[in-house]
Amino acid sequence: MSTRGKNHISLVALSSFLALLMCATASTAQAQTAVYIQSTAPDVVGRQLVFELREAVRRSTALSLAEREQDARIYARIVTLDPDNSGRGNSTVYSAVITMQTFHETPVEMYLTNYVGSCGRLSVESCARSLLSGIDEEATNIRAMIRTMLDSMNN
């Protein structure tokens, strides 16, 4: 294949990618960023934490709760445990890994950040808000990165 043919194919691929990115950005700019929350929470306080996080995402103006994994752009994968195995439900320890689905033709899950912490049964809502603020920060950074890329292409 000639150099001109290769450049044409590259230009077509780049144009297709940019069109897809603009469509995704246009819908993201007007809509909330969808978040899917997957949990393994065998303990009472852990289940409460996951519930409160889901409710906080539902109330958010910038985020929406995806009921299905394939409908989300950001994923929060949370594991909780009762730290003393007492079953009394006084506290939980948690690990939350935040990832995103890339914009590629064949999307892959990309690591963004993770959080670990402990939460008492009386502070579950506060722990959920803390996790929500981290997820929101990641979503905000992604939207800003896309806007910057689009602005640089328009100039």
CATH number at 88 reads 3.40.50.10070
Q: Is residue 131 part of a domain?
A: yes
Query: Number of folded domains in the chain?
Result: 1
In whole angstroms, how far apart are CA 148 and each of 49, 112, 155?
35, 19, 11
- In this structure, are strands 91-101 and 74-81 parallel, antiparallel, or unpaired? antiparallel
Q: Is residue 80 part of a domain?
A: yes
Q: How far apart are CA 63 and CA 66, in angstroms?
A: 9
Q: What sign has the CA pseudo-torsion 51, 56, 59, 63?
A: negative
Q: Is residue 49 part of a domain?
A: yes
Q: Is residue 12 part of a domain?
A: no
What is the residue range of 108's domain?
32-154
Q: Is residue 19 part of a domain?
A: no
Structure tokens at 30: 């007007």
Q: Is residue 20 part of a domain?
A: no
* pLDDT in 10s for each residue of the chain, 155 residues: 554 554 445 544 544 454 455 445 444 445 689 999 999 999 999 999 999 999 999 999 999 999 999 999 999 999 999 998 877 889 999 999 999 988 778 888 999 999 999 999 999 999 999 999 999 999 999 888 888 888 888 87
